[in-house]
């Protein structure tokens, strides 16, 4: 069943919606007070588990299940990290929270810290973020000054410090284990698992890493209860999603939709359709690491994870890119591969070498020196990434390449045969050449 747009975890954005005074007027930090004064840590964990909240960072892992690995009575320090790295191209919804609703994250993190008995929590924020960093830092200062963070919060005896850690611009540092390694002051290399991070994470202590949007749902869940949360979206994927939409779209931006919202309604009604009335060619649904879907693929689909998966892709990080008819998919892949090659951390041979090979091949094709055999080689290299690397970047980059080749192979064949794009002469090609 198609769903309606709802305002759930976000609220009306005003020029002052990031300030504590306005947040308090709207009832902000009421959930923190409720959790600390009327609930046990176990009860908060149970409520989040019962809500069915799933991770919004890309993998949709159940949040309650992740939290439940932490043993509250194990006598160890526990850590909580909000992942605000947001490096996935096309994704800019966490930035939106940090700029417009930083207290939503801080309040939710403090509740999560209470549930997990965390004394020191961290926000790992993308190095390039300037306004989001300043807004978050200022909001945190306000929270400390009001006794909402730090020692003896709201006089309850619970204490938690939140530390903001700025990254240095590496995509791979958004991967949970690389993020922790980076906070420890080392080079941001992803770690092999097991052990899971909830067993041995930051400084070898049990650690929960959650995406900014995931965590920002927690205050709402505590305020309204798990049942109310589950009533939104679908039982298997409850709640809303923040979709950041960009590309050839009339009104790019961040839209909060109830999970299950009709895809075309989002593009054509809410976002005003394609730029300059162009035809939609395809969509990258959830960050460039998710497989491309053609306009025909998404026809009649609702934004339920299961429906997107049945069509052959995933909702990933919620970073949607709408691509107009006439866009050259060969050049689009060239941009993607330049990115992946540059960002590979180099630990795993299939990713380190594979990204370089793929990048060199696509550059050669765009130069007009491609060979038909290149396409098979690209597919083999991409398949070799699958399951053979430490982190998910190798697999994801491989899927993205395979997805484009599967749908638009004819454009690559045309480029190789004629030494130029099928889309030569149209606006997009002239712009990118």
Ligand X SMILES: Cc1cc2nc3c(=O)[nH]c(=O)nc-3n(C[C@H](O)[C@H](O)[C@H](O)COP(=O)(O)O)c2cc1C
Nearer to ligand X, 54 or 100 (CB): 54
Tokens of 90: 């096309």
The DSSP letter of residue 265 is: I
Q: Does 55 bind ligand X (CB under 6 A)?
A: yes
Rounded Cα gap, residues 98 and 92, in angstroms:
10
End-to-end CA distance of the chain: 43
Q: Say which DSSP state 172 is in.
A: G
Closest CA to 171 of 87, 277, 74, 45: 87
The binding track of 121-160 with respect to ligand X, each residue x by CB under 6 A or -, is: ----------------------------------------
Does position 390 bind ligand SF4 by CB under 6 A?
yes
Question: Closest separation between CB of residue 174 and ligand SF4, Å?
Answer: 11
- Rank residues 17 and 170 by Cβ distance to ligand X and give the closer one: 170
Query: Is 174 a binder of ligand X (CB under 6 A)?
Result: yes
Given ligand SF4, ligand X, none, residue 162, with its beta carbon under 5 to 8 Å by kind, binds: none
* Smaller CB separation from ligand X, 340 or 412: 340
For position 396 contacting ligand SF4 by CB under 6 A, the verdict is no
How far is residue 402's CA from residue 383's CA, in Å, rounded to a whole number?
8
Please count the residues of this chain forming the interface with ligand X, following the rule CB under 6 A: 23
392 binds ligand X (CB under 6 A): yes
> How many residues interact with ligand SF4 (rule CB under 6 A)?
14
Q: Considering the rule CB under 6 A, would residue 381 count as an interface residue with ligand SF4?
A: no
Q: How far is CA 245 from CA 167, 279, 285, 297, 331, in A?
A: 24, 16, 9, 18, 20
Is position 160 an interface residue for ligand SF4 (rule: CB under 6 A)? no
Binding window for ligand X (CB under 6 A); candidates: 95-103, 158-166, 204-212, 265-273: 204-212
Among 182, 246, 289, 344, interactor with ligand SF4 by CB under 6 A: 344
Spacing of C-alpha 205 from chain mean position: 25
From ligand SF4, ligand X, none, which one binds at residue 344 (CB under 5 to 8 Å depending on kind)? ligand SF4
Instruction: Collapse the DSSP code of 269 into the 3-class scheme (helix H, G, I; strand E, B; otherwise coil) and give the result.
Output: helix
Q: State which of positions 79-108 bind ligand X (CB under 6 A).
A: 83, 85-88
The CA distance from 103 to 97, in Å, is 9
Q: Which residues contact 151 (CB under 8 A, 6 or more apart)?
A: 159
Instruction: Determine the Cα–Cα distance for residues 186 and 191; give it in Å rounded to an integer.
Output: 12
* Residue ranges binding ligand SF4 (CB under 6 A): 172, 190, 344-348, 351-352, 389-391, 393-394
């Amino acid at each position: 069943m198609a769903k309606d747009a709802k305002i759930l975890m976000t609220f009306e954005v005003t020029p002052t919606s990031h300030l504590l005074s306005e947040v308090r007027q709207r009832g902000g930090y009421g959930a923190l007070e409720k959790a600390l004064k009327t609930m046990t840590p176990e009860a908060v964990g149970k409520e989040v588990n019962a809500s069915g909240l799933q991770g919004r960072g890309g993998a949709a892992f159940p949040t309650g299940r992740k939290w439940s690995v932490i043993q509250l009575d194990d006598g160890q320090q526990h850590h909580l990290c909000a992942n605000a790295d947001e490096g996935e191209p096309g994704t800019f919804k966490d930035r939106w929270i940090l700029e417009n609703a930083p207290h939503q994250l801080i309040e939710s993190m403090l509740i999560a810290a209470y549930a997990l008995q965390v004394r020191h929590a961290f926000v790992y924020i993308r190095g390039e973020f300037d306004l989001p960093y300043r807004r978050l830092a200022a909001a945190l200062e306000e929270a400390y000054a009001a006794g909402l963070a730090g020692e003896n919060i709201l006089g309850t005896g619970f204490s938690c410090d939140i530390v903001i850690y700025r990254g240095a611009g590496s995509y791979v540092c958004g991967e949970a284990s690389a993020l922790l390694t980076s906070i420890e002051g080392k080079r941001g290399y992803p770690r092999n698992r097991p052990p899971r991070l909830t067993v041995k994470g930051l400084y070898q202590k049990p650690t929960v890493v959650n995406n900014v949007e995931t965590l920002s749902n927690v205050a709402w869940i505590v305020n309204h209860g798990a049942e109310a949360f589950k009533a939104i979206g679908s039982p298997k994927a409850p709640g809303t999603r923040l979709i950041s939409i960009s590309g050839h779209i009339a009104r790019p931006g961040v839209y909060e939709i109830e999970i299950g919202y009709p895809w075309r309604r989002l593009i054509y009604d809410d976002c005003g359709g394609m730029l300059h009335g162009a035809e939609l060619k395809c969509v990258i649904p959830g960050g460039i690491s998710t497989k491309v879907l053609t306009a025909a693929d998404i026809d009649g689909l609702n934004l339920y994870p299961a429906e997107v998966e049945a069509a052959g892709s995933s909702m990933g990080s919620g970073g949607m890119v709408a691509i107009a008819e006439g866009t050259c998919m060969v050049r689009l892949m060239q941009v993607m591969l330049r990115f992946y090659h540059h960002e590979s951390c180099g630990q795993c041979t299939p990713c380190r070498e594979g990204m370089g090979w793929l990048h060199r091949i696509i550059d050669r094709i765009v130069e007009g020196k491609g060979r038909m055999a290149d396409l098979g080689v690209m597919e083999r290299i991409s398949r070799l990434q699958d399951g053979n690397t430490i982190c998910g970047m190798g697999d994801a980059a491989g899927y993205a390449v395979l997805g484009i080749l599967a749908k638009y192979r004819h454009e690559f064949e045309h480029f190789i045969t004629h030494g130029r794009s099928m889309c030569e002469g149209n606006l997009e090609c002239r712009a990118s050449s």
